[in-house]
Amino acid sequence: MNDSFASRIRQRRKELKLTQDKVAEHCGINRVSVSNWETIGKNGTSPKGANLLALAELLKVTPEWLISGDTETKYESTQDDAANYTLGSFDTWDSKTPLSSDEVEIPFYKEVELSAGNGSMVQRESSGFKLRFAKSTLRRFNIQPDMAACVVVSGNSMEPVLPDQATVGIDTANTKIKDGDMYAIDHGGMLRVKVLYRLPGGGIRLRSFNRDEYPDEDCGTEQASEVKVLGRVFWYSVLR
């Protein structure tokens, strides 16, 4: 357990005058788990995935601030911000599964490749499976169904928020960078999911949540031309 991580959780909880029982209730866990999150040293544990997002929501801070202490992003994601990302479960279905009147199908691609030439996505459906979303949910976040897609993230660069094999939903109509938001990008032919920041002169900073192993990548104006924003991450689901 990162000692600073534990300290930030405890510090922010006390600032908001929240009990460990309240945190446990909000996150759907027991109080012992919350106590372990706040324990400094080898006996402590770290919240991940759904628990991390729920904790950040309750504490009205970003997951990134809890992880790294980055003051630039501390208060960017709050309940009043409609949440930068919404986390949820999903059901896969095939052509034999009927949709309800409030559902819409979203393509689910287990294998996604990016062409090295023009940067367009080459998409391969996995056995015809799709994800079904409530139309009301997509409307709430101003997502056009025909502009949404879901892909699987590989690797550990975005842990603990996005573990390996997490599924993310991207809005391909939203490619304008808002500092601190998470995007799917084509970076020189590689599909990547990163937190993006604009830099002076037209550059772009690529940030991972796992900053111990993956430091920031600053792309200057010329290098930034190799970064194509495919869409903003509006949803993700963690299966572990």
Write the CATH number for 16: 1.10.260.40
Task: Give the domain extent around 19.
Answer: 3-81
116, 41: one domain: no
What is residue 178's three-state secondary structure?
Answer: coil
Where among 81, 113, 133 does a domain terminate?
81
- pLDDT value of residue 239: 55
Q: Phi-psi bin for 55: left (phi > 0), alpha (psi -120 to 50), beta?
A: alpha
pLDDT band at 112 (very low <50, low <70, confident <90, very high): low
DSSP letter for 32, please.
Answer: H
Where among 58, 81, 104 does a domain terminate?
81
Residue 225 maps to which CATH number?
2.10.109.10
DSSP letter for 203, please.
Answer: E
10, 100: one domain: no
User: How many other C-beta atoms can be found within 10 angstroms of the C-beta atom of residue 41?
Assistant: 8
Where among 31, 50, 81 does a domain terminate?
81
104, 172: one domain: yes
Q: Show the tokens assigned to 137.
A: 């949910």
pLDDT band at 75 (very low <50, low <70, confident <90, very high): low
| pLDDT exceeds cutoff 80 at 36 | yes
69, 122: one domain: no
43, 68: one domain: yes
DSSP letter for 8, please.
Answer: H
74, 108: one domain: no
For residues 150 and 167, the answer to whether their CB atoms sit within 8 Å is yes
178, 225: one domain: yes
- Burial degree of 235 (CB within 10 A; 0-12, 13-18, 19+): buried
Report pLDDT digits (tens) over 162-197: 888 888 888 999 999 999 889 988 888 788 899 999
- pLDDT value of residue 199: 94
For residues 6 and 69, the answer to whether their CB atoms sit within 8 Å is no
Q: What length is written for the chain?
A: 240
Q: How many domains does the chain have?
A: 2
73, 91: one domain: no
